[in-house]
Amino acid sequence: MDFSTFLIQLLNSLQYGLLLFLVASGLTLIFGIMGIINLAHGSFYMMGAYMAFSLTALSGNLLVAIVVGIALSVLIGFLLEWALFSRLYKRDHLDQVLLTYGLILIFEELRSLIVGDDVHGVPIPELLSASIQLSETLSYPVYRLFMSAVCILLAIVMYWLIRYTRLGMMIRAGSSNREMVQALGINIDLIYRIVFGLGVTLAAFAGMLAAPVSSVYPGMGNQVLIICFVVVVIGGVGSVWGALVAALLIGLADTFGKVIAPDYAGLAVYVLMAAVLLWRPEGIFRRI
């Protein structure tokens, strides 16, 4: 493997890991702070990808589609939390699993009825369609660098939001002791609604970003869901920083595993998870 090939694989692993973080951070917020096992999280990722496809077809511009899709995702997140998830906080995990599994089936049927079962492509905006030449024969797409930059920016914003803002303080307090936060006069129901809306929007936004490079196809959220739970387990339940570190490790293991030992690449992620759990059963990080 020459240096140019190594650099491309490294960039691919970072881009995959950062995109995975974007999806998994929403899951770890919902799971770690609200205590909800959300099996439908992958469906929100799929929803975002199909929004990118449909809205780009209508507007002719992916960036416009993303802006509109983010607004719709926030609205859908708020509505789902108000109508369904707000009734699950005092119930056991079996009820949560049943409801969220039912949502997977509903989203799949709605997708089939509205868009169909074909595989679709989303065009990359002309502004981001160029490539950077790394050698005489190898180049790297600007859009993938754009995806990585956006994910890094969002990671910084999320860290600042949770650590240094009043809203972040209330989110951290609500994750530790819901009853005490309510006794202090804080509207914990509104805080949970915001957290759930943020989690849905992060997953949908990741789907919108990924649509031009991964295509849009039925069931695309199922595989992402499994890997996202692996990220949450490795990083530590409820830890956004842990989700970032875990997602980057998984990106490196998966990408270079496919290059070095393609026949066993599928095991690399789960071997990594087993090694981390043997070392730290609670995950790499334990706090938000």
Q: Render pLDDT for 223-271 as a digit per residue (tens, 0 to 9).
A: 899 999 999 999 988 788 889 999 999 999 988 888 888 888 778 888 9
- Given a cut of 90, whether residue 14 has pLDDT beyond it is yes
With bands split at pLDDT 50, 70 and 90, how would you rate the model's confidence at 287? low
CA distance 191 to 172: 10
Query: Where do the domains of the chain lie?
Result: 12-218
Task: Cite the beta strand spans of 173-288 per DSSP E.
Answer: none
Go through 221-259 and write b for each residue having 16 or more CB atoms within 10 A of its CB, e for each that does not.
beebbebbbbbbbbbbbbbbbbbbbbbbbbbbbbbbbbe
| Residue 150: Cβ-neighbour burial (10 angstroms; 0-12, 13-18, 19+) | middle
What is the average per-residue pLDDT within 151-173? 89
Look at residue 142 in the predicted model and tell me its pLDDT. 92
With bands split at pLDDT 50, 70 and 90, how would you rate the model's confidence at 87? confident
- Given a cut of 90, whether residue 186 has pLDDT beyond it is no
Look at residue 288 in the predicted model and tell me its pLDDT. 59
Question: Could you write out the DSSP letters of every residue in 60-112?
Answer: S-HHHHHHHHHHHHHHHHHHHHHHTGGGSTTS-HHHHHHHHHHHHHHHHHHHH
Look at residue 82 in the predicted model and tell me its pLDDT. 93
Look at residue 1 in the predicted model and tell me its pLDDT. 62
**Taking all residues of the chain, what is their mean pLDDT, rounded to a whole number?**
89
What pTM was estimated for this model as a whole?
0.92
* 16-25, 57-66, 151-160, 180-189: segment of lowest average pLDDT: 180-189
